[in-house]
């Protein structure tokens, strides 16, 4: 399957860049340093590459907080690796790691 995200309305897809990343492992969309231009509605699109069937999630709104509640938080690294990763020789292994905080 392939994960992609629609921003506000179809066919405006989220493009991956230095601030946006779509995990093809989990389907999660990660946005760093959220800006006013990121505010809107996001819909996850999952496509089965064998059957070409597509499924859309309900919209998820993204809004900005202006009340300072989020505050400062210490840096940490989010890693969701299984305890053991087994791979055949010559194959590609993808492991994802995300850093966040200030």
The phi, psi pair for 36, rounded to 5°, reads -55, -35
CA 102 to CA 77: how far, in whole Å?
A: 12
How confident is the model at residue 83, as a pLDDT?
76
- Parse the chain into domains and list their residue ranges: 2-100
Strands 54-56 and 60-62: unpaired
Residue 97 has pLDDT above 60, yes or no: yes
Residue-wise pLDDT for 14-44, tens only, equals 999 989 999 998 899 999 888 899 999 999 9
Q: Which H or E run contains 60? A: strand 60-62
Whether the upstream peptide bond of residue 11 has omega within 30° of 0, thus cis, is yes
CA 34 to CA 32: how far, in whole Å?
A: 6
Q: Residue 84: beta bridge partners?
A: none
Residue 70 has pLDDT above 60, yes or no: no
CATH class of 2-100: mainly beta
How confident is the model at residue 68, as a pLDDT?
61
């Amino acid at each position: 399957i392939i994960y992609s995200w629609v921003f506000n309305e179809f066919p405006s897809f989220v493009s991956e860049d230095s601030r946006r990343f779509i995990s093809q492992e989990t389907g999660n969309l990660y946005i760093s340093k959220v800006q006013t231009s990121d505010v809107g509605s996001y819909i996850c699109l999952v496509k089965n590459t064998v059957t070409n069937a597509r499924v859309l999630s309900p919209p998820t709104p993204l809004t900005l907080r202006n009340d300072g509640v989020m505050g400062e938080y210490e840096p940490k690294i989010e890693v969701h690796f299984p305890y053991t990763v087994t791979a055949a020789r010559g194959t590609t292994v993808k492991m994802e790691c995300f850093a966040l905080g200030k």
